[in-house]
Structure 1
């Protein structure tokens, strides 16, 4: 069952069911008429701009100052909306960059940084070190045997002994050749490791490009500080052919001149 409530006097006036009292009705004066006129204007604006209302939402009878203020306010709103649109574009770019970076990190984690792949890389490097040590030991032993056989060969005069020593030298030479095969295996293992490192490098480069490139990243990089101490600070290992900052053999010889 619907419930009806009694409408207030102001509602009846706004809805047009009751005439607006004039200035002579009791003690209602011009202030009441002004208030009612403002309420009608508010009600008209809430109902939608009727015919004859300008784009600012003011009536045609509005004063030039009101129109100018409304237009200035409208321009301010438009400028704020334009700034918000620019901000949204920038935020969309940042959001896209973050998503792309997350995808690159996910690929790296799935293809390179997980335990299985890193264990494989470590295994390959360990095999390189172990194979190199074993081959080096075999070559040194063969060279030592050749030296001993050559020394003995120069002292014996029996043809049979000379033949035995010569055959031993030949066997040791073959042993050296066999040991040198480690280079092929080492090259294959290093190629696998380099492929993994190249894969990581490519995706890291893509992430740096997402955030402005190498120069932009370097601008935020902290200064490099060498924390090594003692001999470790002086020893840098073998240098590459084009490395800078290393003393050449000519520099060392010049110190003794």
Structure 2
């Protein structure tokens, strides 16, 4: 009869050990999650990092739209020149005029794709803004202090990859598309 209670006692000890191990793992996971949430937060007084990403993406969309508009404008000029060539140069140049016109049409069609890309980027911007709002709310719910956010952010910035910053906007002292175009003109 003593064997049964000892067996149950051993099971109870094993269950407690498993529960403690599970609790340790949960505590470690919560600590890791807390650190990751803190890493997502901007330092106190600093603009949100996702906000910077949104601004960068907005600039990408704007500059890409400008470039696509200019490309389409030039393609239309090519098409007009191809029509003039076809009308004035004679039948021996008809194939060349048609080729120029087809190439210009292909360019216009490729630029239309840019509009779809811009729409998708704007959706990503909306999603980033939603994530940013949720991270801010999570930080508030977890009761994370601003100085805790700042100390973690300083550690993250010290290890950060400068290549991930990407090109700078004209407001940040970088070149805009117009300046780049001028370099190649």
Q: What is the TM-score when the length of structure 1 is the normalising length?
A: 0.33
Q: Greater helix percent: which structure?
A: 2
Q: What is the TM-score when the length of structure 2 is the normalising length?
A: 0.45
Q: Which has the larger radius of gyration?
A: 1
